[in-house]
Amino acid sequence: MSLTVAERKATAKAWVNCGKERLKVIVHVGTNCLKDSQELAKHAEEIGAFAIAALTPSYHKPENEDCLVEYMAQLAAVAPNTPFYYYDINFATGVYINCSKFLKLAKERIPTLCGLKHSSREMPSAHGCTLVEEGKYQVLFGTDVQYLSCLVLGMSEVVAAPVLGNLFHNIKKAFDNGDLETARSLQCKAQRLNEIKEKHGGGINIAKSMFTILSGLEMGSVRLPLRGLTPDEKKRLETDLETAGFLDLAKPK
């Protein structure tokens, strides 16, 4: 959300080009300006993105589900050949809507609607979305510490912090094999990682530094108004991750 429209286009194009025949790239096009979002959506379709997703404007907020559907319908319409996901993350946007109601209202207005990314923390809300239209819509759940709970409720698709790919792969494998003891143990590791992040502040600046430490890929700093970590802060974070045995967590397997 700190990138310009031009930067977001360049980033999207780079991901799509690098991901050809390997990744299904979903490009996020949400902004606080409908015109900017439409421009990003058109561009995503032009470059061959697998799908687009958009969170709601968060300064001037939609007052109810009807307003949100109208906004998303106008946004999705400019990319008529690209699947569309609504991205709900209410604790970040301040927009608390009934996601199931949104899906029911949107089914006739947004022909390309195929699901939503449910990054809000209310598990019953996410589960309820899987029941709309007899499971017609895909629910991508985005809360790292609840993945095993999602699997139990039949929600297998997850949007996780990038450092958790290996761990979540193993949770899913253990769950599918009926090995709940291993799955629970691995979910506890994800919880422990989240606790370390929260200990050091819990923000995007912490998450970005954790990604650099655990992946070995230098990601650079954050942009204002977010604050980058000092060398001492980063060292303390790295020490906690090392003590917890996480330094190889995100390495290629």
Write out pLDDT tens, residues 196-235.
Answer: 999 999 899 999 999 999 988 888 889 999 999 999 999 9
| Residues 125-148 as b or e (16 or more Cβ within 10 Å = b) | bbbbbbebeeeebbbbbbbbebbb
pTM of the full structure: 0.88
Clarify whether 59 is annotated catalytic: no
| Given the residues 117, 137, 147, 197, the one annotated as active site | 117
pLDDT tens across 91-119, in order? 889 999 999 999 999 999 999 999 999 88
Tell me the mean pLDDT in the region 131-150.
85
| Given the residues 9, 85, 86, 87, the one annotated as active site | 87
Task: Report whether 159 belongs to an annotated binding site.
Answer: yes
pLDDT of residue 18: 95
Q: CB under 8 Å to 124, separation ≥6 — which residues?
A: none
Q: Which residues pair with 141 in a beta bridge?
A: 118, 158
For residue 113, which phi and psi values (nearest 5 degrees)?
A: -65, 125
Percent of the chain with pLDDT over 90: 71
pLDDT of residue 183: 95
Clarify whether 87 is annotated catalytic: yes
